[in-house]
Amino acid sequence: MGSRASSLLREEDIEEIKKETGFSHSQITRLYSRFHSLDKGENGALSREDFQRIPELAINPLGDRIINAFFPEGEDQVNFRGFMKTLARFRPVEDNEKNKGPPSGEPLNSRMNKLLFAFRLYDLDRDDKISRDELLQVLRMMVGVNISDEQLGSIADRTIQEADTNGDMCISFTEFTKVLEKVDVEQKMSIRFLH
């Protein structure tokens, strides 16, 4: 009795992904079904168009940036491992007792990694700084045409002023973390997986 989607995923792979991401066996198989159903080309990898086909994501103002986060630098295909590694950042933090995390130490869904995900949504050129332009770009994506350039500019300026502590007119990751220190990132950037 062959099964369709899960036969393409071997037990060894599931074990490895389990160790790396902390998802449970059943979560991995169900997410694999989801991956498979999004993969219209059936080539074992997702392209940006595959993500765009999800209507709720296509109408999300930050949809493109979120999709971008799945793709490694310069590539336009993401395989299941990559898909799971990105999703793993959104696992709730309490589940960490069971999982020791990847060998390098920091679990994928730690508070720092969640903040890093959010930081990278702004920091498109990956220079570890959010410049005024990068901030404006994200703002423009979220508000559309409803706010004027000047007003948006002053909002950006104010935000940088408040966050910037070393005077370089950019927001570094440390400054970003400081601004969000009172925000319950663990809860806001976590998805409650059932079973």
Partner 1 sequence: MMEDFWASFFPVLMIWFKCLVLLIMLPAMFGISLGITETYMKILIKTLEWATHRIQRASRAEEILKHSSSNGGLIQRDDSSLEQEIEELRRNRPKAAEQGDFTLSDVLYFTRKGIESIVEDDVTQRFTSEELVSWNLLTRTNNNFQYVSVRLTILWGVGVILRYCILLPLRVTLAGIGISWLVIGTTLVGFLPNCRVKGWLSELVHLMCYRICARSLSATIHYHKKQNRPKKGGICVANHTSPIDVVILANDGCYAMVGQVHGGLMGVIQRAMERSCPHIWFERAEMRDRHLVTQRLRDHVNDKTKLPILIFPEGTCVNNTSVMMFKKGSFEIGGTIYPLAIKYDPQFGDAFWNSSKYNMVSYLLRMMTSWAIVCNVWYMPPMTQEEGENAVQFANRVKSAIAQQGGLVDLAWDGALKRGRVKDSFKEQQQKMYSHMVVGDDSSD
The residues that touch partner 1, with contacts defined as CB under 8 A, are 1-6, 26-27, 29-31, 33-34, 37-38, 51-63, 66, 87, 90, 117-118, 121-122, 138-139, 142-147, 151, 154-155, 158-159, 163, 171, 176, 179-180, 182-183, 185, 188-195
What lies within 8 Å, CB to CB, of 194 at 6+ separation is none
* Tokens 């400054």, located at residue: 175
From CA 87, how far away is CA 31, in angstroms rounded? 10
Measured between alpha carbons, how far apart are the two ends of the chain, in Å? 26
At closest approach, how far in Å is the CB of 103 from partner 1? 25
The least CB distance from residue 166 to partner 1, in Å, is: 17
| φ, ψ for residue 168, nearest 5 deg | -95, 15
Nearer to partner 1, 11 or 73 (CB): 11
- Min dist CB 11 to partner 1, Å, is 10
Q: How many CB atoms lie within 10 A of CB 136?
A: 16
> Which of 54, 169 has the CB closer to partner 1?
54
Which residue reads 């706010």 in tokens? Answer: 147
Comparison of 96 and 177: residue with beta carbon closer to partner 1: 177
Residue 101 CB, shortest distance to partner 1, in Å, is: 20
Closest approach of partner 1 to the CB of residue 116, in Å: 12
Q: How far apart are CA 22 and CA 17, in angstroms?
A: 7
Report the amino acid identity of residue 55: P
